[in-house]
Each structure stands twice: as C-alpha cells, then as structure tokens.
Structure 1
Amino acid sequence: MEPVYLFNLIDQQKSWLSARQSVVAQNIVNADTPGYRAQDLMPFSRVMERGALDISGADPKHLRPSPVETLAAAIRPTEGWETTHSGNTVSPEFEMIKAGEVRGAFTLDTNLMRAFHGMWMSAVRA
C-alpha cells in the first residue's frame, strides 16, 4: 500500500476544481450560442482512478503525467436540464449549481489544509 500524501492530493483536487470552474464558465458564456453542447469534467475520483492505471516509462527518468494533467481528456458532454430550439443544452441554473459545488469544494480543501497545517505545526513545536 502506498502512502497518501494529503497535501499533494488536495493540490491535485484544487487543480481539478480550477479546470471544472473554467468549463462551467465556458458553458455560461456560451449559453446563447446555437448548437452549443454543455460540458463537464469527469468526477475527481474517476480522474484519480484513471491516473493510477498510467503505464510507467521504461526509464526511471521518464516523467509521468499526474492524473490532473490529463484533464483535457476528462471533458465530456453533459446532459442539461433542457435543450432549446437552437440545440443549446446549457442550463444557467444547472451551471450555477455546479459553480456552487466548486466553491464549496474549494472551501473544504482550504479548511482541511488549514487544519492539517495547524496540526503539523503543533507537532513540530512539541
């Protein structure tokens, strides 16, 4: 079993959240574009699972992309709540819900980092 690096994991999730926030913003910007299909990222847990299956290089000096670096492949069309006559599938209400989820996850990550940093500093001082 490999050790879990909490700070690294939170950093990867923050990168994923930033990418998801960009996709949500892109959806909102294109809310009136005829034929635009709303997009979203794969859930973070699935991105991490896919990253665990990457093939390692033959040479230890080869760099392996982190799971979050492969986010371009994780963008997928999403089913919106409605499709307009122009074929646009963006629902501003649904996008705002996703933006709220991103904000909540950023807040959770920040609070976790603050709590574990405080515990780490307490252990160092002791």
Structure 2
Amino acid sequence: MAIGDLPIFEMMKQKMHWLAARQQVLSQNVANADTPGYTARDLKELDFGAMVKRAGPMLKPAATQAAHIGSPVAGAGHGLHAGQAKGGEVIKKPDFETSPTGNSVVLEDQMIKVAETQMDYQTVTGLYSKSLGLIKIALGRS
C-alpha cells in the first residue's frame, strides 16, 4: 500500500477537490453578480461521517493476554470509490437578499465564502504535508 492510499490521505484529497470545485462555483456567482434572474449557487457540504464509514473496516482491538478486556469495534465500511467527492453536488443557495432584477448574489457574502474556502484549502494542504512528514519520520526517512 502506498502512503497516498491511506484513508486519511484519500479523505484530505477529496476535501481539496471539493474546495477547488466550490471555489469555481463561487467565482461563477461573482461573475454573474449583475446577471438578471441569476440565483447564487454553492456545493453541498461533504459528509465527513460518511467518508469515514467508506474508508474501510474499523480496526478491532486484539487481546494478546487473558487479562485484556475484549471490546470489539462494530461496523465495517465499503471502501472509497473512484471519482467520489471530486466536486460535489451544485445546489441553488440564494443569499438572503434578491435584487429587483431577480439576482440573488450578494458580493460581500460571496467574497466571505471565497476567503473561507481559501483558508480551508490552506489548512488541508498543511495537514497533508505535516502528515506526510510524520510518516517519513516514522519510516526513518527524515
């Protein structure tokens, strides 16, 4: 198994793909801020719990001594599917106000969402690189 195939790395990659796709949707909203009748859009949030369940079977504790307390971990996942969460479902999500022309894009709200998405992307890429560094240290390849 390659390091990039670990479930945690796969989940971080999915999150980065989702954030990149969200940035595209938000930029379309900003580009259409003056288009009559345009409704602001966003991506459906990723379900982290579902991603964890799909990541594979849960680890079960192993009793190596008779004195160990047995506590099996319930549940097993189904593995990650190729192409899942690469973008996400685009949903119409109008901002709280609509102009007289029927446009529901509020530039200030869109710019806040763009900044949040950018910060989230930087956070995930930082976690990704730190996790790779920890694995390299554990393998003795610092």
User: Among residues 43, 47, 67, which one is paired with 1:41 in the alignment?
Assistant: 43
Q: Does 2:103 align with 1:88?
A: yes
Deviation at 1:49, TM superposition (A): 3.5
SS in 1 for 2:85: helix
5+ residue gaps, structure 2: 1-5, 55-80
Larger Rg: 2
CA deviation digits over 1:38-62, x for unaligned, max 9? 000001127x749x79xxxxxxxxx
Deviation at 1:101, TM superposition (A): 1.2
Deviation at 1:68, TM superposition (A): 1.2
What is the Cα-based RMSD across aligned positions, in Å? 2.2
Q: Does 2:138 align with 1:123?
A: yes
Percentage of matched positions with identical amino acids: 31
Deviation at 1:69, TM superposition (A): 4.1
Q: How many residues are matched?
A: 109
Q: Does 2:99 align with 1:97?
A: no
Measure, in 1, the Cα distance between the counterparts of 2:87 and 2:26. 18
Question: By percentage of residues, which structure has more helix?
Answer: 1
Deviates more, 1:103-112 or 1:19-28: 103-112
What amino acid sits opposite 2:135 in the alignment? W
SS in 1 for 2:133: helix
Measure, in 2, the Cα distance between the counterparts of 1:6 and 1:107. 17
Give the conservation status (yes or no) of the 8 Å contact 2:30–2:110: yes
Measure, in 1, the Cα distance between the counterparts of 2:8 and 2:83. 15
What amino acid sits opposite 2:97 in the alignment? E
Measure, in 2, the Cα distance between the counterparts of 1:104 and 1:45. 19
What amino acid sits opposite 2:102 in the alignment? G
Q: Does 2:84 align with 1:67?
A: yes
